């Protein structure tokens, strides 16, 4: 009996672990994404967005986001504001060319999901929780999320001033398989 | 007097508009910056025409009020107002799908001087000096 028990246990453990480590579906970020920000007196978009998006609706725990935004692609619609935003007073593009978000944990929350991870802006890394939704489409799917960050947390600009301290980010990312 | 200055305003405004459209095309082909969505040809021409007609009204009024010095005041005002309007292209917020908004002032700033330039160039043909 013991001769059968150990091999059987080993097979069960191996089978179980194989299911545990099933990777989530990896999605390709499509053109047409929108990374928009807005606050009092300033708003705009970022155009350079890339990274790895692994997401499984049925298994959010196995999902993983690791995405970056090229800060130099900021567009406020005004040339002077763009230049100002890229300067060392704000994003300091020369020194910190990327905004990075790396997920640590993704959980189901109500009708959508929440991703907890590290958000790095202007060389400052802070934990952030981003609520998002995922909708399947004919060609793949679309992620959408809205959240706010306090620019003072990331040493962006000077405290106070015309630009509001709470910056709202609206993110919409269509993906394909 | 007003009919002559109005004619001068219309002609110089039209010429300034045409020059603006040509300049926009050259700017687009040389720098690749296409702002035709916010500054289409018709808008450039109408704006220049508006500037020319406004100049005609201003010239007539100042000529009546200021007599001999009216033209001097008008020329100064036309130049100063043309300069003052340069603030607008720097402050304007373009649609976000337009790339390189920093190139927009470079396109429209010269256009702000075209009506004055056309007016000063063509004026001797329409209105003789006193």
Over residues B2-23, the pLDDT tens digits come to: 899 999 999 999 999 999 999 9
Q: Which residues of A touch B91 (CB under 8 A)?
A: 78
Q: What is the mean pLDDT of chain A?
A: 89
Q: Do A79 and B103 lie within an 8 Å CB cutoff?
A: yes
| Tens digits of residue pLDDT in A8-65 | 555 555 454 444 455 688 999 999 999 999 998 889 999 999 999 999 998 999 999 9
Concatenate the DSSP letters of all residues of A33-74 into one string: -EEEEEETTEEEEEEEEEEEEE--TT-GGG-EEEEEEEEEEE
Higher pLDDT, B118 or A6: B118
In tens, the pLDDT along B23-50 reads 999 999 999 999 999 999 999 999 999 9
pLDDT value of position A19:
47
Q: Is the distance from CB of B118 to CB of B19 less than 8 angstroms?
A: yes
Nearest CA in chain B to A84: B102
CB contact under 8 A, B101 and A45: no
In this prediction, what percent of chain A has a pLDDT beyond 90?
A: 74
Candidates B129, B130, B116; CA nearest to B9 is B116
**Section B86-112 average pLDDT:** 94
What is the average pLDDT score of chain B? 94
pLDDT score for A11: 57
> What is the structure's pLDDT at A25?
86
Residue A56 sits at φ, ψ, to 5 deg, of -130, 120
CB distance B104 to A79 below 8 Å: yes
Distance (Å) of CA A146 to CA A72, A112, A132: 22, 12, 7
pLDDT at B126 over 60: yes
Helix (H, G, I), strand (E, B) or coil at A50: strand
pLDDT of B92 above 70: yes
Average pLDDT over residues A80-92: 95
> How far is B45 from B52, CA to CA, in rounded Å?
10
How would you class A91 by CB atoms within 10 Å of its CB: exposed for 0-12, middle for 13-18, buried for 19 or more?
Answer: buried
Look up the pTM and report it: 0.81
Contact with chain A for residue B103, Cβ under 8 A = yes
What does the alpha-carbon distance between residue B89 and residue A78 come to, in Å, rounded to a whole number?
Answer: 9
**pLDDT reported for residue A13:** 53
Nearest chain A alpha carbon to B92: A78
Per-residue pLDDT band at B130 (split at 50, 70, 90): low
Q: Does the pLDDT value for residue A97 go beyond 80?
A: yes
- Above 80 in pLDDT, residue B73? yes
8 Å CB contact of A77 and B94:
yes
User: What pLDDT is attached to residue A93?
Assistant: 97
pLDDT (tens digit per residue) in A99-149: 999 999 999 999 999 999 999 999 999 999 999 999 998 889 999 999 999
Distance between CA atoms of residues A48 and A51, nearest Å? 10
Give the nearest chain B residue to A79 (CA atoms): B102
Q: Give the alpha-carbon dihedral of B30, B35, B36, B41, to 10 degrees.
A: -80
Which residues in A lie closer than 8 A to residue B93 (C-beta atoms)? 76-78, 81
């Amino acid at each position: 009996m013991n001769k059968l028990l150990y091999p059987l246990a080993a097979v069960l453990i191996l089978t179980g672990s194989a299911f545990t480590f099933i990777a989530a579906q990896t999605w390709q970020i499509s053109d047409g994404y929108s990374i928009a920000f807005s606050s009092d007196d300033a708003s705009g978009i970022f155009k350079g967005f890339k990274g790895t998006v692994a997401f499984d609706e049925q298994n959010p725990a196995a999902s993983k986001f690791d995405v970056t935004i090229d800060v130099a692609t900021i567009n406020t619609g005004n040339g002077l504001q763009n230049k100002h935003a890229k300067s060392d007073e704000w994003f300091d593009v020369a020194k910190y060319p990327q905004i990075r978000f790396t997920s640590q944990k993704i959980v189901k929350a109500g009708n959508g999901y929440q991703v907890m991870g590290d958000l790095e802006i202007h060389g400052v890394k802070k934990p952030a929780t981003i609520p998002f939704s995922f909708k399947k489409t004919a060609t793949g799917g679309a992620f959408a999320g809205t959240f706010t960050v306090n620019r003072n947390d990331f040493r962006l600009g000077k405290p106070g001033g015309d630009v509001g301290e709470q910056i709202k980010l609206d993110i919409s990312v269509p993906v394909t398989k | 007097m007003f009919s002559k200055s109005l004619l001068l305003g219309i002609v110089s405004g039209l010429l300034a508009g045409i020059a603006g459209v040509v300049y926009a095309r050259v700017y687009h082909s040389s720098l690749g910056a296409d702002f035709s969505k916010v500054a289409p040809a018709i808008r450039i021409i109408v704006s220049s025409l508006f500037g020319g007609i406004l100049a005609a009204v201003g010239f007539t009024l100042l000529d009546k009020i200021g007599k001999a010095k009216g033209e001097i005041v008008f020329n100064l005002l036309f130049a100063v107002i043309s300069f003052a309007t340069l603030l607008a292209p720097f402050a304007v917020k373009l649609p976000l799908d337009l790339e390189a908004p920093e190139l927009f002032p470079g396109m429209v700033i010269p256009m702000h001087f075209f009506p004055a330039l056309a007016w000063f160039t063509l004026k001797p043909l329409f209105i003789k000096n006193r």
